Amino acid sequence: MWLALDSVARCAAAWQRDRSQCIDECERAARIAAELRRAQFLAGRWLAASMLAEHFGGANAAWRMRCEAGQPPRVLSGSIDATPHLSISHRGDVVACAISAQRIGVDVEVEDRLRGPAEGYAELALHVHERVELEHLAPASRKSFVLTRWVLKEAWVKAVGRGLDLSDMPNLRTQATTEGGNARLWRAGGQLLALCVEAPGTWPQAAGGGFDAVAAECWHVGESLG
């Protein structure tokens, strides 16, 4: 299992050097009107391919990926017989990618992501029991509470293969633990990074984006928490 972050601008520029011959990626990028969103798409493809090449061999351009609407990206071809799973996330100029032998989900967010009062996001993102917890928090702590659960749940949704369908969020509960759990959370430089897997094992250390020396928090995310 590997996890890395990089700059969208740097990775998008590197895509021009290493992957601009990937016709399917060129065609999809051409359909993205927003310049930043287009750069994020290309950056994610470059970072994922670079990690696959680094850990499994072959050239960056040899790795092909596809992402159907509402589904996580899939590795189509490369230099090995096994097909690794991957997850990509981006926010602003930050792009993150996680690769594993099992299904995996990654999400990156910035601390000032939420606009307006935290309570406005409660019904969308929080379980009924989490809403009760929110009500008992000091106002200054509420946005952090909501965003922490948001990023963890989005990583879980990706890990179970539900793409970007976030309608499960209110059905999920999160629980901080001292060890174990199926998710890890890092906080650094005004950003939050969450990683979730189906079957926990040895966890990677986040690399890049200021997260290299940051200790991970242990969490459990699921539909059956008591």
Cα pseudo-dihedral 136, 142, 146, 152, rounded to 10: -90
- The sign one gets for the Cα dihedral 40, 42, 46, 48 is positive
Across 74-88, 93-107, 113-127, 162-176, which has the greatest mean pLDDT? Answer: 93-107
Domain 106-222 class in CATH: alpha beta
Q: Which CATH code, of 3.60.140.10, 2.30.29.30, 3.40.50.150, 3.90.470.20, is assigned to 2-101?
A: 3.90.470.20
Amino acid in position 18: D
- pLDDT, tens digit (0-9, with 9 covering 90-100), for 55-90: 888 899 989 888 776 677 888 876 555 678 899 999
Residue whose structure tokens are 């200790």: 215
Which tokens belong to 68? 């159907």
- Domains 2-101 and 106-222 equal at CATH topology level: yes
For the chain, what percent of residues have pLDDT higher than 70? 93
Q: What are phi and psi of 53, to 5 degrees?
A: -65, -40
What ranges in the chain are assigned the alpha helix state H? 8-18, 23-30, 35-56, 119-125, 128-135, 139-159
Domain extents in the chain: 2-101, 106-222
Mean pLDDT of the chain: 89
pLDDT reported for residue 76: 80
Rounded to whole angstroms, the Cα distance separating 140 from 92 reads 24
CA angle 60–64–66, rounded 5-degree value? 140
- pLDDT, tens digit (0-9, with 9 covering 90-100), for 187-210: 998 899 999 998 777 898 888 888
Above 90 in pLDDT, residue 120?
A: no
What is the band of 16 on the pLDDT scale with cuts at 50, 70, 90?
A: very high
pLDDT reported for residue 225: 62
Strands, sheet with 74-77, edge to edge from the N-terminal-most edge strand: 2-7, 94-100, 85-91, 74-77, 64-66
CA angle 155–84–28, rounded 5-degree value? 75
pLDDT reported for residue 164: 65
Which tokens belong to 123? 């019904």
Which helix (H) or strand (E) element contains residue 193?
Answer: strand 191-197
Higher-confidence residue: 46 or 75? Answer: 46
The pTM of this model reads: 0.90
